[in-house]
Structure 1
Amino acid sequence: MKYIHRLAGVFMAFCLMILLFVTSVEAVVYWTPGYFEKEYTKYQVLDDLPPMTMEDLLDVTDQMMAYLRGDRADLHVMTVIGGQEREFFNAREIAHMEDVRGLFLAAISIRRICLLLCAAVLLFMAVSKADFKRVLPPSLCLGTGLFFGVIAALTAVISTDFTKYFIMFHHIFFNNDLWILDPATDMLINIVPEGFFMDTAGRIAFTFGSLSLILFAVCLTLTIKNKRRP
């Protein structure tokens, strides 16, 4: 039974890492104050758009992000461009963002499932009378280390050619070519250039790495502490 408990602990660690990854994405794009304004300023996106104010662009962004997490029913966002009120997104952009929304909502659902699975593992261990102090911390250490190692390797590979793997990502997760946008007609591609995605990916990697190391450090400390006990 001890080995089953250890496998359950490793499985729980994987669930926790997925949970932390999804939370890291959310933390960067939703919880970082002024993030989009900073990025828009950095890449001077207003220069690539028809005349509009930063305030209006940030309002459009807020509506877009609310839509992606299911807090808004559609992406028909009205704003002022060139002194006239009009929709910001065209039909192709809206269709693509419907696909992106699907990914966002799927990630949120997966996080909830992982949280439930973690609770199920703890319940299983409690019912089967596992020695939590001696089994859970080292199992979480092992699972966290394995998962983080795989993610670190993938990050290292992606960093060698971000554009290549960015395109590969779209081919894997989208079954159409709606993500191929034209800067001359589609404003979405102009407000989120490749540099924006690189910065965002870097922030997500840093946040996820920090949370993972904290989890690993806590589990390692508990493992060492419990081994010293008679």
Structure 2
Amino acid sequence: MNKYLRQTLIVIQNFSLFISAILGIIFYNCFNLNFYKNFYLRENLAPSINTTDDELINNTTNLLEYLTNKAELNTTWFSEKDILHMKDVRVLYNVSFNLMIFFIIIFILSTILIALVYKNYAMFYITKTFNKTLLAFILLVIVLAGIISYNFTSFWIKFHQLLFTNDLWLLSPEESNLIKMVPEQFFISLITTIILHILILFVSFLVVNNIFKKKFKIIST
């Protein structure tokens, strides 16, 4: 296998790892019930939307279970428009989850192929390319973080316009318990946490790769 094919294969392997890792972090945070509890407690949300802490947590659990096809939404709490929008969100979740599984499979298969073709030199070639691909991802995450922090509202609107083909996401706090549960401040906190976790993971990747890079450079020589 020539140099360019080797580089392409390793970049595909790296890319698959990073995309699946990003999606995994997103899912972990979005389905972390403790994150919701801490936000509700910090904002003293339940009394401000005329419900109890237990009811708020129960409806949040119902919302998360709906996304994973484990329950139907509580129609006494969620409005008709809430439910229609969450149908779209569930489709997005299913597509994203399948995409994560796809990239995990691609990562495993490409790693096996690299190991079979290059044998003892596999880790040397992987670690040699890894940092370049990773730094490109870190730069993209930092740029995205800058865009989000500059004008979150504008980013959030464009995000919804890009992913949804209707205006069901335009919910009114007067009519929607969904938007009362997860207002804009919630998503600012959630996305900030996700970006921090991604950067921490990627920096950890960088440190570990540099350790392996030194080890396998010595072996290759």
TM-score in terms of structure 2 length: 0.92
Matched residue count: 218
Identify the residue that residue 176 of structure 2 maps to in structure 1.
186
* Counterpart among 162, 171, 177 of residue 167 in structure 2: 177
CA RMSD of aligned residues (A): 1.6
| Structure with the higher fraction of residues in helix conformation | 2
Separation (CA, whole Å) in 2 of partners of 1:112 and 1:13: 15
Determine the structure 2 residue equivalent to 1:82: none
Q: How far 1:148 moved relative to its partner?
A: 1.9
* Alpha-carbon distance in 1 for matches of 2:209, 2:115: 19
Residue-by-residue CA offset, 1:121-148 (whole Å, 9 max, x unaligned) = 1232234335212101122222111122
Instruction: Give the Cα–Cα distance (whole angstroms) in 2 for the partners of residues 155 and 124 of structure 1.
Output: 35
| Post-superposition offset of 1:112 | 0.3
* Structure 1 runs not aligned, ≥5 long: 79-86
Tell me whether 1:90 sits opposite 2:79 in the alignment.
yes
Runs of 4+ in 1 over 4 A off after TM superposition: none
Alignment-derived partner of residue 8 in structure 2 = 7
- Secondary structure of 1:181's match? coil
CA distance in 1, matches of 2:115, 2:85: 46
Q: Which residue of 2 aligns with 1:45?
A: 45
Partner residue of 2:140 out of 150, 166, 170: 150
Q: Distance in 2 between matches of 1:47 and 1:167?
A: 28
**Letter in structure 2 aligned against 1:124:** L
- Return the offset for 1:226: 2.3
Which has the larger displacement, 148-157 or 219-228? 219-228
TM-score by length of 1: 0.88
Report the secondary structure of 1:34's partner residue.
helix
**2:118 aligned counterpart, secondary structure:** coil
- Hey, what does 1:133 align to over in structure 2? 123
TM-fit CA distance, 1:22: 1.1
